[in-house]
Chains A and B, each alone.
Chain A
Amino acid sequence: MQQVSLTWVGRIFSDYAGQILQGTWVTLYATLIGTILGILLGFLIGIIKSTPISKDDNILKKAGLRIAKAVCSIYVEVFRDTPMMVQAMVIYWGIRGFANISSIEGGILVIVLNTGAYMAETVRGGIQSVDPGQREGAAALGMGHLMTMFNVVLPQTFMNILPEVGNMFLTNLKMTSVLNVINTAELYFVAKTASSTTYRYFESYLVIAIVYFVLCFVFARLIDLLEKKLQGKADYELTAEPAETGEEERTDG
């Protein structure tokens, strides 16, 4: 039986400092790029899936939309219904069969596709939760579907789903660990290497657990800050003296 040793924790931190830093960088890099691109993909699919098919559209547009919607649905189902670790193996080795990609590229691709599938449903729900009156208001000003989406509906959707976006970042930060199966040199991979050399399993993994925790904790606070910033000021300033029209003017708010 191996004794748990805190000195070993310190030793692994110092002996593997370079690899831990490198692994942290890869984890962050894969998470940021993967999640941001994944969210964009999720928005794209969410938008396609919530585009109404009007009976006035021409046959080409109708057919195109139907096919696009079907493709999106299949993609969402496949990626939500299989484990990310398995996706990583299938996609990475599948692509390696005919093209040369690095394990980090493969890893990011897996995160993008996985995040996209989950975000697609979140975005669709977010779009549906925007008050229909907002769209009517836009229609009454003569705004078309896309103009309404980009100016009115999607900014509100983004605010609605921001907590879920935060969740996605944290989930991905931790899920990058499964990319070790395709030899992406992220944090988990570093612990695996360290433990196989030192045979100090508890200490090796405790080290990266601490790093993961710090990363996630900082990330969560940054997301809180972003949310506050995007919500804007709770108060507003009057730009001039309100006109003297008595009861019409209220300055509370």
Chain B
Amino acid sequence: MGKIVSATYDENMNYIKDGRIVPPVITVKHLVKNFGSHEVLRDLSFMVRPGEVVCVIGSSGSGKSTLLRCINLLETPTKGLIKYKDETKFSDEAGGSSWPVNKYRTKVGMVFQSFNLFNNMTVLQNCMVGTRKVLKKDKKTSYDLAMKYLTKVGMAPYINAKPAQLSGGQKQRVAIARALTMEPEVLLFDEPTSALDPEMVGEVLHVMEELAQEGLTMVIVTHEMAFARDVSTRTIFMDGGLIAEDDIPERLFTQPKNPRTREFLSRFLNSGQIQAAG
């Protein structure tokens, strides 16, 4: 498998589309997050531009998931600035999280490691509740959207099943469909395959790969190195709550500049995960 999404970047890692820099959809500036006295994110800045597929890699405890959860404000940052397009969604200077977050979250979807499908609803109800109740779309439109995305992830035949009756891979595909029904501008994935049996990882990664090809903007926290290398347009390596390296995967995976990146990747190179999938 080779690169599946081609992308152009300038020398400052700005995503170039049709010959110009695209304005960012998410801007994170000087983000700090403390849990008590424990500093998880330390002064972290980056942007996500429409069309980018950003994979965030790094060892456990490096702050990857916290970063993702701060972006859609499931965690309230301690300091810093988060912008969606031109709208400020969090700024410590203005006194913290006083912006209404619910509308923002419809624009920035999230797929969780533990799926978080609603246990009291069927697959179809899971995929209609957001559009019906939050976006206030009518029943027909909601149903059509649900079926469109359930078909895309190959789960349309299962609309009457309850989450408890599905396998992990099936649950995650429904969770992706549910997030897509909101037609978000950006979709965040928090280790979407980490809770799955190895044999089910492929079906979920396959769906995400298709979404990448269709140009969906995604930020993916993952431990699947081959996936990050082949699908991302840009890979961020996080270490100790900081962005240690931010580069196109072609360079980051073959000639990492940071010694920490090299050390981290060497374990995967040695384990053969990258070659085996390449």
Residues of chain B in range 156-171 having any CB-CB distance to chain A below 8 Å: 156-162, 165-167, 169-170
Q: Are B120 and A248 touching (Cβ within 8 A)?
A: no
- B166 → chain A closest CB, angstroms: 7
CB of B170 within 8 A of CB of A140, answer no
Q: Is A56 close to B, CB under 8 A?
A: yes
Chain A window 44-71, contacts with chain B (Cβ cutoff 8 Å), 1 for yes, 0 for no: 0000000000011000000000000000
Of B40-48, B101-109, B262-270, the one with at least 4 CB within 8 A of chain A = B101-109
Contact B116 A137 (CB under 8 A): yes
Known: A143-B133, A239-B156. A136 touches B112 (CB 8 A): yes
Which one, A1-9, A105-113, A121-129, A151-159, is touching chain B?
A151-159
The residues of A that contact B27 with a CB separation of less than 8 Å are none
Q: Which one, A14-22, A89-97, A202-210, A230-238, is touching chain B?
A: A230-238
Partner of B119, one of A134, A136, A249, A250: A134
Check B133 against A133 for contact (C-beta < 8 Å): no
CB distance from A110 to the nearest CB of B (A): 33
Residue from B114, B154, B157, B158 in contact with A241 in the complex, judged by beta carbons closer than 8 Å:
B157
With A140-B74, A239-B156: A156-B119 Cβ-Cβ less than 8 Å: yes
**Interface on chain A toward B: helix, strand, loop, or mixed SS?**
loop
A156 to B120, CA, bound (A): 6
- Nearest-CB residue, chain B, relative to A242: B157
Given contacts A138-B118, A151-B133, contact A253 B166 (CB under 8 A): yes
Q: Interface range on chain B: under 10, 10 to 19, 20 to 34, or 35 or more?
A: 35 or more
Contact of A236 among B105, B114, B165, B169 (CB under 8 A): B165
Q: Does B130 sit at the interface, judged by CB under 8 A?
A: yes
- List the A side residues contacting B178 at CB < 8 Å: 141
CB distance from A3 to the nearest CB of B (A): 59
Residue B96 interfacial (CB < 8 Å):
yes
Residues of chain B within 8 A of A131, CB atoms compared: 119
> Does residue A139 face the partner (Cβ distance < 8 Å to B)?
yes
A137 to B102, CA, bound (A): 12
From residue A145, how far is it (CB to closest CB) to chain B in Å?
A: 10
Q: List 14 A-B contacts (CB under 8 A).
A: A56-B97, A139-B74, A139-B105, A140-B72, A140-B110, A141-B129, A141-B178, A142-B103, A142-B106, A143-B134, A155-B120, A236-B165, A238-B158, A240-B156
Where the two chains meet, the residues of B that have a C-beta atom closer than 8 Å to any C-beta of A are 72, 74, 96-98, 102-106, 109-110, 112, 114-120, 122, 129-130, 133-134, 154, 156-162, 165-167, 169-170, 175, 178-179, 182, 199, 202-203, 206
| A-B complex: 4 closest residue pairs judged by Cβ atoms | A137-B116, A140-B110, A142-B106, A141-B130
